[in-house]
Structure formats: structure tokens, C-alpha cells
Amino acid sequence: MSVTVEERRGRAPDTRGAPLIRVEALKKYFPITRGILIQRKVGQVHAVDGVDLEVYPGETVGLVGETGCGKSTLARVIMRLHDATEGRIYFDGQDITRLRGSKLREIRREMQMIFQDPFASLNPRKTVGSIISEPFRLHKTAPRGQIKNKVRELMELVGLNPEHYNRFPHEFSGGQRQRIGVARSLALRPRLIVCDEPVSALDVSIQAQILNLLEDLQSEFNLTYLFIAHDLSVVRHVSDRVAVMYLGRVVEMAAGDTLYRNPKHPYTGALLSAVPIPDPDLAAKKKRIILEGDVPSPIDPPSGCRFHPRCPRAQFPMCKELDPALEPFHEGQVAACHFPLEDRAGIAVTLPADRLAGDQCSISSSSSSTSPRPCSWSSSSCSTPGRAGGCRTCSGAGPACPAARPSRSAWTRSPW
Amino acid sequence: MAEPLLEVKNLSVHFPTEDGVVKAVDGVSLSISPGETLGVVGESGAGKSVTFLTVLGLINRKTARVDGEVLFRGQDLLKLPSDELQHVRGSKISMIFQDPMTSLHPYYKVGYQISEAIRAHQKISKKEAFSQSVEMLRRVGISKPQERAAQYPHEFSGGMRQRAMIAMALSLNPDVLIADEPTTALDVTVQAQILDLIDRLKEEFDAAVVIVTHDLGVVAEHCDDIMVMYAGRSVEYGERRDIYYEAHHPYTWGLLRSIARMDQDRHERLEPIQGLPPSLIFVPPGCPFHPRCPYVMDVCKTDVPQLLPSNGHHASACHLTLGEKERIFHEKVLVRG
């Protein structure tokens, strides 16, 4: 599946080399305090609660989840805008978790951020020119005389008219303002750009322009994106791999196509089913899973699997007591669920049956074009061997997996 | 078809400014019957919100020139004196505003804000109004409504605030509910909940609903009729199937094609509509869409296309011939499997 993604981009993201960003068991808790003079700590918000994530050079990792699931906090901790409570962050192999002063400043050149709200993230009292040239002045990477030319180049690069150098942000439309934000983030030629909901505030027709711009810049400068969004259709369009977050944890992570076809976590399935499809016939037939209620408070997250109070598949007492670990499913897919969805559940929730015929073709053609692959999970790394005919990587082509894990078969699966 | 409940006829709203006249709405007509949902789609600045603010009489008539008719049950709202309009607004026609974060008053409890709306139209005691608002909160699916009514908006999540707004809008059992981008600021899961809620309440209250949005995906599941607006004009109007499966206007095509769709493995690039929406002071001559239209002809630059029906209900304002429209749509736009 990933082949098509690579073809589209005309280059292969290097997923075998060293990751550009590696995050290990990252936690960020915000204290809740009471009292005026003596601040007593009365609790903490578990904004990010044990996340492992790797982002490889040149790829786009999408980060999705509802409001308050910790995706923005995770990005800010990686950017070192917040200090991690626990865990480690590596940038290009270097531990940056506790960097300070000039060393931190050096690293910050390598990673930049595009913010959600193009109306709030640009200083209304500064001209576009001075907004975009600020990184040059702060980091002194260009001699003073050249700054203006560099800014004009950047403006041209992102599709702004360089003659608008002296205009103020309010003279631009939302899409153009977001282009200013993109130009500013590119000024120091960073390797990683964290895009925090870069198109959520824009009209659909303008969204497409910005998404195309980001894609062009990625191939031109070999950028790596961490792309945060709650819109799953946008994320599918831009991402090589997608991580789904829920209440401070990554509950599922997979290559884009795998995730959208074969979601394993019921939360992913529910998110997919909620995305509107601009096609009334398909939309009417689509199976919908409406999640009741809101995300629980991250101050006191539920025990066991954090999704169990809202999960349509939850079985008690297992889901309430046992916290599921991330387990591998398809190639490169991990999910944390005791009762994962069957294969192709994503299609069932997003597409009705009459679409499945054509859909199967694309699966079989891609698998028949490649020679039979051996099982990519060596017997030691495969913690769920022989998942009853489910694992496409293993079934048929690869060596037969040993018997299924007994603990899992002890629990009957609920009908979806 | 039932008698239309709300009819807008040839509505124009122009704002004279120092720089020129802003033609925010320019000759828009629409009609809605009870139990129907109308989707109004267009980019920011297309005049969607201004149209419905005018319907509600929320446009300052001292600074705007308003022409045309807004007929509610045959009565022209534009000619009503403000105290009579006050009686219609809120109780007969009500509106859910775009941003639930800013449209609730942060200093007042949610229950109080809802009962305030009820007491503005009905002579009942504060206590009664409060219990009615608790009942409304329950009906829009807020758990523990008694407790929630005594809380402030900041204690509500985004989805709950939007539910509270809906409770407020429906508290007087209106005939027409106008939802201006009701889900733009919300998560997909909450968006699905809110749209389903509006659908369910529409049945329950037998109301007519208008959903204003910029995303064609949102209205695909919930609207009967769709009007596409561009630069203050209605460029295409039709039943839902007409718009999605037989769209006739290049702007509608552009909207359909620029959406990133999740149900398809489309690895080719998105096709945005080139350029920007025009300034409403200097609307291009001829068809307002012609500078951005890939199928532009000479006639488009001089003559304003009229909104002409092609078959029955379906109308579009474009100079292309019907045959060409159908051909281009089926070759370039329709992407069904």
C-alpha cells in the first residue's frame, strides 16, 4: 500500500534509517494548584501520558484525535515549548529533552511550527516583511543587508506577492495569512516542521491550496512534517503514517492506507465513521458509530483502557482493569486494544458494500504485483502470532505463525 | 409540496462605505417548507451569513441598503416595525451562531441565558423559565441538565456549548431554525452528533432548517435542497442529488473537487479553485466567477449569467450550454467508483 504513497510523492520516505525525532515514554503533566500565597498541588492534568513516537526524515506523520487528547501538547513538548515531565526526546540522535541556552537555540533552528489560527499567530502591528524576517534577526543566520532579499524570496516561494512586503496581516485573507506563517517557518531552513491544524481555520477551497503548497515544499526541501489535525480526510491526504491519540496516549499507529482500511482500535473506527463524505448516496449507506459523550477528563483518566467508558466493544471486567499495550497487527501497524476490529472494518464504516468490489481489486492488484513476502514479524517480535487469518502480512504468503496466544482466545469477541 | 414557510425574493444587501458599495448580497432568492433542510454553501465572504442576518433583521438598516422581500408565512419581515419583528425573531425564526465559544455570555449561567430567551417572549416566572431551560438542555442530550444549567459557559466543552446554543434556539419552538456554520469549530465526532441532533429535533419540532456551511461534505447527509453562493449571488440551486451528481456550475465543481476525500484512495493532488474570492466592492463584470473559472468564454466577461432552471427545481447561473455542463461534469468532476 505504501508504494502508491511513495509514487505519488516521487520519493520514498526513509523509514529504515535513523529517525529524525524519537520520543520515548514521554509524559507531560500540568499541575493543578490551589491557594494564593502557598500554592498547593491538588492534582495534575495528564496531557501526554507515555507516548512513543518515531518520525523519519522526509515523511509526514499525521496526529489525529479529538480536542483535548494531548496532540498539541505532544507537539509543543517535542518543540521544547513545554518541558517534558518524564521521558526522552531525541532529535537526529541527540537527546534534547533538557537542553538549555545556546544549544537549545541551535536545535530550534532545525524545527519550526505552523500554527492553527492565522489570525492570532501573526502580530497585527508588524508588517509581513518584519514578521518573516524575525527568525533571521533572532538567529543571526543572514547578514543584515541580505535579509530583505531573503524575505522576498520566501514570499515568492509560498505564493505571496513580494511587493506586499510592507503590508500588515489584516490586509490579507486567511489563506494568505497562513502562507505568511509557512514562509516564517521556512526562514531558517528547518528539517522538521510541526503543523498544528494548519488548515482547520480555512475554507475548503483554500485548504487545498495550502495542502498542495506544503506538499511542494516538502519535496523541494526534503522536509519532515508532524501534521496535527482533527480532520481525518485531510490527514489521509497528506500523511505517510498516522497516529491516533486518545487521552494522552497513542492508541493506534499505522501507514495511512492501512489505518483507513483496517483500523484496529474501535476509537479509530468511530473517528473514521464520523467523517462526512461529500456523496449523499454513499453517506446514506455508510455505517455510523456515534460516540456518546465527551472525552473524559485527563485529570482523572479512566482505569484500564482509557476508551472503555465510550467503547461499543468494551467487555468487562477486562477492559476496565487491564490497560492494553500497543501490539503489532499489519506491517507497521500497532494498536492498543483487547478486542480489536476485524480487517477491513474501515471500509465497512466509511464505504457501503457496493463499493467493496472495486475496493478489493485495488488490494489484490497491489498484493499480486509483489512477490510473496515473508512474514515481517519475526517470531520473537510478533506478540500476537497467528491472528486467526487476520494478518495479511502473514496469511498465505509468509511462513505459518505458531498457535494463537491462549489468553486472547479466552475472551469471546463481541459482535461489532 | 407544502406551502413555503420562509421565502426570500430577490434580496440585496449593499453597504455603502468610503471605498465604494459592498455588495454583500446581490439578488438572492430561496424558499423553505416545513420539515425541509436547506444547505447554503460558499466560501467566506460569499454573503451566506449576511443573507440570514438580514432575514432575522439583525442588519443595521441605517448603514445598509436592503432591497427585496423576506416573506415569513406571507408576511414581509423587511417591512415590519422593529417591535413586531422582535416578536418573530427568536420565537418563530431563530438562529444558532457560528462560534459557541463567543456567542454565550461568559458572566451568566447557561440556564439563566436560556431562560432569558424564553422570558423575552413569554410571560412566565423566572423559576418556570429555568425549569423549561433544564428540560431543553435534557432534550439536546446534555447529561445532568439540572447541574449543568447552573454552570457557566467556560465549564462546558465546545460540543456542549453548541448544544446549549441549540437548546436556546429551540426553547421557543421556532418554525425556522437557521444554523450558521454550526459545526465549524468542532471535532468530527461532535460534528456528527450535532448534525444528527439538528436532524432529530427537526422531526420533533417539525421545523424548517437552514444549514450554512463552507464544506459540501457536511451537508451531503443532512440537506434536501442546496444553494451554492458566490460573491453575494446564488450560482446554483437544486436538490441534493442535483448538486452532487449533476452539478452545473464550475464553482460547484471546484468545491466538489477541492475536498480531500477520505473514502477514496486519491493520491493525485487536490485541485483547489485558483485565485481568491473577489472583493465585494469590485465584483468582476459579467459572471463574478469568470477570473477563476477554467471554462471561461468571452461572453462570461461581459454578460451576467442569470440563474436559469435546467430541469424543474435545478438552476444554475452559467453561460455554458447544458450539454457541455453535463459532459464536463461527468468527465472531470464525478468521481464515483
pLDDT (tens digit per residue) in A223-253: 999 999 888 888 888 899 999 999 999 999 9
Average pLDDT over residues B283-293: 91
d(CA A172, CA A183): 14
Query: pLDDT: is B265 or B325 the higher one?
Result: B325
- Please indicate if any CB of chain B lies within 8 Å of the CB of A209: yes
- Please indicate if any CB of chain B lies within 8 Å of the CB of A131: no
Q: Does residue B268 have a pLDDT over 90?
A: no
- What crossing angle do the helices spanning A204-221 and A2-9 adopt, rounded to 10°? 80
Residue in B closest to A202 by C-alpha:
B44
Which among A175, A278, A281 has the least Cβ separation from residue B217?
A278
d(CA B121, CA A170): 40
Distance from CA of A248 to the nearest CA of B (A): 17
Dihedral of the CA atoms B160, B165, B166, B171 (nearest 10)? 120
As a CATH number, domain B6-223 is 3.40.50.300
d(CA A416, CA A136): 55
ipTM of the complex, rounded to two decimals: 0.83
Strand partners, A196: A228
Strand partners, A21: A55, A91
Cross-chain Cβ contact A283/B221 below 8 Å: yes
- Whether the bond between A169 and the residue before it is cis, its omega within 30 degrees of 0, is no
SS3 B32: strand
Q: Please report whether residue A330 resides in a domain.
A: no
Cross-chain Cβ contact B262/A174 below 8 Å: no
Q: Please report whether residue A322 resides in a domain.
A: no
> β-strand A327-328 against A111-114: which pairing, if any?
unpaired
pLDDT of residue B68: 93
pLDDT tens track for A205-218: 888 889 999 999 99
d(CA A169, CA A115): 15
Q: Please report whether residue A12 resides in a domain.
A: yes
Rounded to the nearest 5 degrees, what angle is found at the Cα of A70, between the Cα atoms of A67 and A72?
85
Q: Please report whether residue A269 resides in a domain.
A: no
Q: How confident is the model at residue B303 (pLDDT cuts 50, 70, 90)?
A: very high
SS3 B262: coil
The set of cell numbers assigned to A90 is 531525541
- Please indicate if any CB of chain B lies within 8 Å of the CB of A346: no
Say how many C-beta atoms besides its own lie within 10 A of residue A61's C-beta.
Answer: 24
Q: Which of residues 236-295 of A touch B (CB under 8 A)?
A: 236-237, 257, 260, 270-284, 288, 290-291, 293-294
Neighboring chain B residues of A5 at a CB cutoff of 8 Å: 267
pLDDT of residue A73: 92
Q: Please report whether residue A32 resides in a domain.
A: yes
N- to C-terminal Cα separation, chain B: 33
Q: Please report whether residue A187 resides in a domain.
A: yes
- Please indicate if any CB of chain B lies within 8 Å of the CB of A401: no
Cross-chain Cβ contact A208/B157 below 8 Å: no
pTM above 0.90, yes or no: no
CATH of the domain at A235: 3.40.50.300
d(CA A9, CA A144): 36
pLDDT of residue A379: 37
Q: Please report whether residue A164 resides in a domain.
A: yes
Say how many C-beta atoms besides its own lie within 10 A of residue B127's C-beta.
Answer: 9
Instruction: Give me Rg for the CA atoms of chain B.
Output: 21
Distance from CA of B74 to the nearest CA of A (A): 32
Amino acid at the residue B284 = P
A101: phi > 0 → left, psi -120 to 50 → alpha, else beta; which? left
Average pLDDT over residues A333-353: 75
pLDDT tens track for A89-133: 999 999 999 998 889 999 989 999 998 888 888 999 999 999 999
Cross-chain Cβ contact B217/A276 below 8 Å: yes
Q: Which of residues 145-174 of B touch A (CB under 8 A)?
A: 157-160
Q: Which of residues 169-228 of B touch A (CB under 8 A)?
A: 187-193, 196, 214-218, 220-221
d(CA B151, CA B143): 13
Helix or strand run (H / E) with residue A25? strand A21-34
Q: Cα B274 to chain center, whole Å?
A: 24
Query: pLDDT: is A179 or A292 the higher one?
Result: A179
Tell me the CA distances in angstroms from B93 to B71, B135, B169, B170, B229, one per residue in order: 12, 20, 9, 9, 22
pLDDT tens track for A126-185: 999 999 999 999 888 888 889 999 999 999 999 899 999 999 999 888 889 999 999 999
pLDDT of residue B2: 61
Amino acid at the residue B54 = T
Parent domain of A76: 2-246
The set of cell numbers assigned to B120 is 423575552
Q: Please report whether residue A70 resides in a domain.
A: yes
d(CA B237, CA B258): 20
Give the percent of chain B with pLDDT over 90. 44
pLDDT tens track for B196-229: 888 888 888 888 999 999 888 888 888 999 999 9
Neighboring chain A residues of B255 at a CB cutoff of 8 Å: 204-205
Outline which parts of chain B fall under CATH 3.40.50.300.
6-223
pLDDT tens track for A354-381: 444 333 333 333 333 333 333 333 333 3
- Number of domains, chain A: 1
Beta strands in chain B (DSSP E): 6-17, 20-32, 37-41, 65-72, 75-76, 93-96, 176-180, 208-213, 225-230, 233-239, 308-311, 314-316
